[in-house]
Structure 1
Amino acid sequence: MTTPAAHEAPPVHLGDPRFQTDPAELYREMRRDHGAVAPVVLDGDVPAWLVLGYRELHQVTGDPVLFSRDSDLWNQWDRIPADWPLLPMIGRKQQSILYTVGERHRERAGVITDALESVDPFELKGHAERFADELIDGLCGKGACDIVGEYAMLLPLRVLARIYGFSDEQGPGLVTAMNDMINGREGALEGQRHLGESMYGLLAAKRAAPGPDVASRMLAAGTGFTLDEIAQDLMVMLAAGHQPTADWIGNSMRLMLTDDRFAASLAGGRHSVGEAMNEVLWEDTPTQNVAGRWASRDTHLGGRRIGRGDLVLLGLAAANSDPQVRTDSGALTGGNNAFFSFGHGEHRCPFPAQEIAEVIARTGIEVLLDRLPDVDLAVPADALARRPSPWLRGLTELPVSYTPTPALGADR
């Protein structure tokens, strides 16, 4: 991999704590020192490029041939140990749609998109409201809770599991398994096993007795795809839909609780919820950086020489804040959806998946504000901490207080 010039600032390590504490300033510094494409190092001092520029990121994501999703192209594999911590994210011979390319990827993406498009939006919102009310029922009498740990991290997967075809009884176990995996808890391996066994069990059940759900539709449309491919895609969709949506809820609530512009929403109005959610996608996007793309040949990008097989990371948050494409006020919010929060190009998050995530997040926030109208931050805003990750940006917790109210229970 091409190294920076001797007079250039050194590469930034992706373990730099500023990815959590002050990413906006870090990206400004990287852009000043390195330009639109910056050298970075991963765990084990493995080199890569981080794309900071909006136009450059558009170029990378719009050219899947030159900047491929095929991880076998990587020119650093001989340096990667078997216990490298990023192997679950950047692995070889992975069966999921994330690492397929060409026509095979387009076919699999079509199956996923069609299955998600068939989800009835009214049923989806109904499921989201029901599970949100159920969670609030367990919190409303306490007078205080952690919105992240006790609400946001529990809601998205419950809804997704329901539309995928799991029973409501299976939902809590799937949530625990997924959160254990995400947080690297002691039960992470058991959580991975539970999720895998549950997914294969679901597919076996739906193959025998199809229903009006995502899993059944993928099985019906997936002629030519193996059961492993369908299972892997469903598990990727669950993970990709759960954590970012939970962070979207948490980051949006943080904004509404700390910014006076959204005070009206906390008084029972809903008109600012969508504005807060959209602003988060620009300024505090849940998916901050994405791995990765690999250059299929030597090329140039943002004034850099990118070698064949170099790893290129997508700096979604940095591109969103690129001063070259921002307005004078610095805020491209409101109805402007040109953010990179869902990616771009043929490997972007499918449009139906984006819509499902938005319904879950918005419904979750609206139900919370309806049920706990005087909710308020229980700690100083500057005491809120982020998870230590350069990839996903979310709060470790969001403590709030409110007037205790009775549960709706069976009356809802």
Structure 2
Amino acid sequence: MTREAAHYPDHTDAVRFYGPQIAEDPAALYQQMRQRGPVVPILLDGDMPAWFVLGYREVHHITNNPQWFARDCRRWNIYDQIPGDWPLIPYVGWTPSVMFAEGAEHHRRAGAIGDALHEVNRTELIATCAKVADRLIDGFVGNGTADLITEYAYQIPARVIARLFGLPDADVPALVQDVFDSLDSDDNAAQAHQRVHARMQQLVADKHAHPGRDVPSRMLAHPAQLTDDEVVIDLLVMMAAAQAPTGNWIGNTLRLMLVDDEFSVTLQGGRSSAAQALNEVLWKDTPTQNFIGRWAVQDCQLGGRTIRKGDLLVLGLAAANTDPQVLPHSHSDSGNNRAHMSFGHGEHGCPWPAPELAETIAKTAVEVLIDRLPDVTLAAPPDDLQWRPSVWMRGLFTLPVVFTPTLPPHQAGR
């Protein structure tokens, strides 16, 4: 046990919340941890102590009370002892972004983002999503086989967001690749992030000179009077927040529709179950499993535990969604139930209307695929599909499928 953990007497029997084996069966892990209560002591990478909050009511309480559980990571009572190369630095390294802003400053920043997103024309968004999806399918429809993760689900969010940001079509492929690379953990991630950052800086400069009907232009013109640096870093936050969660949402939904008998029947018949499948995934296989986090503003009691000022609380979003006290019994129950925690909750949840726009992107992606590949089936046994070994995000490595090959519309003379 590290010196930091030794100062936490309640963590002598803490659960190690890292390592490849910890993510093998997250549902079983959460069920096992739930036996210890709604709040459980854990050790993050390097045995750094934290609290895992897996009760739905407790997660709701934390996210609903930012005056007691705040977002500024510099409140962490061992923040000065965290090494610079700690694996979770991307989650807790402070930046002057909307992610870590609090109070009036957060309202100012999040309000500008929400207003800029609210102005996105929904009809145009659906058309953009459909165009992106169709072009991707055109690339593999003649093969009769595809990997719906790397060739489809992961490609769509960044391509759509790039268009909402008003980027020229010629710039999109390189930006999309850099977004992918920046979210990896290899040596290229830092350089890719720098390139994305530089592209957002240039984009903001371009929008000053030539404003348009796009998100950056609306943020620059907003009454919140955001600085260029604020717009740049919040555009980066939006890009990252949209890419992996939405890509995994699409992929997890397609998997569900291909392996679950209740959904696969309607998969062959049309779109009727797409919305239910999307919502079922948020309850049962939500892309964002766990979230770092909140920091206690003062000593308090939570779920029968004594939380000290500055303690880190990890929000178990997936565990809260599967809390037996709130979990719908089946997709027929969850179809109209949007009380899940998959987008967070409270003022630091995903700013409205981001969840609605993400759902539009995901739903359009699923529906276009169903329309274009009506006989698509898995090319591997369901048990052979491998989840990425992460306790933070829930997504597949691959989703191999087969279907009847056809010519793309432009080659078929249509």
**TM interval, short-chain normalised:** over 0.9
Superposed counterparts of 1:142-161, under 5 Å: 142-161=143-162
Structure 1: stretches of 5+ with no match in the other structure:
none
The one-character-per-residue Cα deviations of 1:14-65 (angstroms, maximum 9, x if unpaired) are 2144553211111010011x20001111111100001000000000000101
The answer for the alignment partner of 1:317 in structure 2 is 318
Q: Aligned with 1:221: secondary structure? A: coil
CA deviation after TM superposition for structure 1 residue 87, in Å? 1.2
Q: Aligned with 1:278: secondary structure? A: helix
**Aligned-CA RMSD value:** 1.7
1:12 to 10, 15, 18: 15
The one-character-per-residue Cα deviations of 1:74-125 (angstroms, maximum 9, x if unpaired) are 0112321121121121013x11100000000011111000000000001000
Residue pair 1:387, 1:395 contacting (<8 A) in 2 also: yes
Give the number of equivalent residue pairs.
Answer: 407
The answer for the alignment partner of 2:368 in structure 1 is 367
The answer for the alignment partner of 2:258 in structure 1 is 257
The answer for the alignment partner of 1:75 in structure 2 is 77
Structure 2 CA distance, aligned partners of 1:328 and 1:170?
46
AA of the residue aligned to 1:168: D
Residue pair 1:11, 1:40 contacting (<8 A) in 2 also: yes
AA of the residue aligned to 2:369: L
Residue pair 1:180, 1:186 contacting (<8 A) in 2 also: no
Superposed counterparts of 1:39-188, under 5 Å: 39-92=41-94, 94-188=95-189
Structure 2 CA distance, aligned partners of 1:76 and 1:366?
47
AA of the residue aligned to 1:4: D
Structure 1 CA distance, aligned partners of 2:391 and 2:23?
7
Q: Aligned with 1:300: secondary structure? A: strand
Q: TM-score, normalised by structure 1?
A: 0.95
Structure 2 CA distance, aligned partners of 1:267 and 1:370?
9
Structure 1 CA distance, aligned partners of 2:23 and 2:343?
20
The answer for the alignment partner of 1:36 in structure 2 is 38
CA deviation after TM superposition for structure 1 residue 5, in Å? 7.3
AA of the residue aligned to 2:267: L
Q: TM-score, normalised by structure 2?
A: 0.95
Residue pair 1:74, 1:311 contacting (<8 A) in 2 also: yes
Structure 1 CA distance, aligned partners of 2:330 and 2:166?
46
1:22 to 12, 21, 25: 25
AA of the residue aligned to 2:264: A
Q: Aligned with 2:80: secondary structure? A: helix
CA deviation after TM superposition for structure 1 residue 326, in Å? 3.1
Residue pair 2:8, 2:49 contacting (<8 A) in 1 also: no
The one-character-per-residue Cα deviations of 1:362-399 (angstroms, maximum 9, x if unpaired) are 11111111111111111111111111211111001111
The answer for the alignment partner of 1:213 in structure 2 is 214
Superposed counterparts of 1:197-236, under 5 Å: 197-221=198-222, 223-236=224-237
Structure 2: stretches of 5+ with no match in the other structure:
1-6
Q: Aligned with 1:361: secondary structure? A: helix
CA deviation after TM superposition for structure 1 residue 266, in Å? 2.3
Q: Aligned with 2:340: secondary structure? A: coil
Q: Aligned with 1:184: secondary structure? A: coil
AA of the residue aligned to 1:188: A
Structure 2 CA distance, aligned partners of 1:313 and 1:152?
27
Q: Are residues 5 and 229 of structure 1, via their aligned partners in 2, closer, same or farther at CA, if it must alter by over 3 Å?
A: closer
Structure 2 CA distance, aligned partners of 1:223 and 1:339?
31
Structure 2 CA distance, aligned partners of 1:405 and 1:297?
62
The one-character-per-residue Cα deviations of 1:250-302 (angstroms, maximum 9, x if unpaired) are 00011011011012332141000111110000000000000010001100000
Q: Aligned with 1:325: secondary structure? A: coil
Q: Aligned with 2:83: secondary structure? A: coil
Structure 2 CA distance, aligned partners of 1:384 and 1:186?
27
**Pairing 1:393–2:394 present:** yes
CA deviation after TM superposition for structure 1 residue 226, in Å? 1.9
**Pairing 1:3–2:19 present:** no
Q: Aligned with 2:408: secondary structure? A: coil
Structure 2 CA distance, aligned partners of 1:387 and 1:59?
30
Residue pair 2:24, 2:389 contacting (<8 A) in 1 also: no
Q: Aligned with 1:263: secondary structure? A: helix
CA deviation after TM superposition for structure 1 residue 330, in Å? 9.6
Q: Are residues 130 and 329 of structure 1, via their aligned partners in 2, closer, same or farther at CA, if it must alter by over 3 Å?
A: closer
Q: Are residues 193 and 228 of structure 1, via their aligned partners in 2, closer, same or farther at CA, if it must alter by over 3 Å?
A: same
Structure 1 CA distance, aligned partners of 2:85 and 2:331?
42
Residue pair 1:2, 1:305 contacting (<8 A) in 2 also: no
Structure 1 CA distance, aligned partners of 2:80 and 2:190?
27
Identical aligned pairs, as a percentage? 50
AA of the residue aligned to 1:360: I
